[in-house]
Amino acid sequence: MSDYHLLALKLKTPDTVNELKKALTHKSFFKGENEEKSNSRYVFAGMFAFRGLVAEALFMYLPATGTQLQHALGNLFKNEHLERVFAAYDLHRLIRHSVNFDADKHRHIFVYGLLGYVFAHVPDGAKQEFIRRHFILPYAHILTPNAKNRDMEAQCNVLSNMLYGCKVKLTMQQNETLWAVTVAAKENMLATESSVSYRYARKKSLKKALIALSDAAKAADEQTADYALRQQVVADTIRRKEEEEIRRKQTALAEKQAKKKAEAEAKKAKTAEMKQLRDKQRRQAKAAAAQRKEEQKKKTAALAAQTKSMSARKRRHLEDKQK
C-alpha cells in the first residue's frame, strides 16, 4: 500500500487517492503543460474555503471581538504553523514538483493544497476533527482574549467588592442536557441562566449579574450625601463642554464665512482688473486704427499732389505702381 493510500485512510477518504496525489503536485512538475492536473485549484480552496471553515469554528466557539477573531485567524495560518501540518503528515515524502523548484521554501503551498483536499473530500465529522487537532487545540494560548476590561467576571468582581466586600461566586450544575450557572455575592443571588452550552450559560449569567450589580451600585450611590453635588458637577461639566462645542462651531462657521467673503472679494477684484485690461486693449486698438487711417489719408493726399500735374497716362502708371 502506497503512502498516498495510507494518508487517504488516515483522512477517511480511501476512494480519492488520485485527488490527494493531485493536491500535493505542484504545477512545475508538468513543466508548464497540463497545469490543470496540478494542485492550483486545491491551493485556492485551502487558502480561502478551508480558512472559512476555521473562521466559522472561531466564531462559534471563541468569545472574542471581531478584531480579535481576525487576528487569531491570521495567526493560525502563519507559515510556521502550516509547516507543523507539513511535518505532521510527512508531506516531504508525498509532494511532487520539478527539480528546479525549491520546495523547502514553499512548504505552505503544499499544505494549502492538502487543506483544499480536506475541504473538498474529507467527511464533515472528520473535517471538524482535523480543524480541532491542527488549528484549535495546539494554539489555544493565542485564541483566548485576555483583555481585563472585556472580562465580565472581572468587572463583576470590581462592583461586588465595592458593594459586598467580596468577589462573585459562580456555581455550575448539570441537569441532564442543560448547564445551570448561578452568580452570587455572599448571600445575594445576582443571576442564573441555563443552556446546553456551559460557556453560553456562564456568559449570559455574568452579563445579567453585571447589570444587577451596576443597578445596585447606582442605587447605593444615590443614597450618599454628596450625590446631588456630584450630579451637579457632572451636569456643569456636560453643559460647559456643550457650550465649548457651540463656540467651536460658531468660530468655525465665522472663519468659513470670512474665507468665503475674502474669496468673493478677490474674485471681484480680479474681474475688475480683467475688465480694465480689456478696456485698455480696446482703446489701444482704436487709437492704432485711427493712426493707420490718418497715415493712409496723408499718403493719399501726398500721392494726389504728386500726380496733379502729370499726364493721365503717367498718373495711371504711378497709381498702378503704388498699388
In tens, the pLDDT along 173-188 reads 888 788 999 999 988 8
Quick check: 143 pLDDT over 60? no
| CA–CA gap between residue 115 and residue 48 (Å, rounded) | 10
All three cell numbers of 86, joined, read 507539513
Instruction: Determine the pLDDT at residue 182.
Output: 94
Find out whether 178 and 195 touch, Cβ atoms under 8 Å: yes
Identify the DSSP state of 29.
Answer: G
What is the extent of the structural domain holding 180? 148-223
Q: Give the end of a domain, one of 169, 203, 223.
A: 223
Cα 240 to Cα 135: distance, rounded to the nearest angstrom? 53
Cα 273 to its chain centre, rounded Å, is: 51
Strand-pair partners of 192: 182
CA distance 241 to 27: 65
Which CATH number goes with the domain that contains 71? 1.10.1520.10
What is the model's pLDDT at position 247?
92
Each residue of 244-283: pLDDT tens digit?
899 999 999 999 999 999 999 999 999 999 999 999 999 9
Predicted local confidence at residue 25, as pLDDT: 94
Question: Are 91 and 205 in the same domain?
Answer: no
Do 39 and 87 fall into the same domain?
yes
Residues 93 and 17 in one domain: yes
User: Which grid coordinates are listed for 282?
Assistant: 480696446
Question: What is the number of structural domains in the chain?
Answer: 2
Last residue of a domain, one of 172, 204, 223: 223
pTM over 0.85: no
169 pairs with which residues across the strands? Answer: 184
**For 11-70, how does the pLDDT look when each residue is reduced to its tens digit (9 = 90+)?**
999 999 999 999 999 988 887 666 778 899 999 999 999 999 999 888 876 767 888 888
Which residue, of 192, 223, 254, is where some domain finishes?
Answer: 223
Q: Is the separation of the CB atoms in 10 and 126 below 8 Å?
A: no
Looking at the structure, tell me whether residues 137 and 171 fall in a common domain: no
- Would the pLDDT of 153 be above 90? no
Q: Does 313 have pLDDT greater than 80?
A: no
- The length of the chain is 323
Among 133-142, 203-212, 246-255, the range scoring the smallest mean pLDDT is 133-142
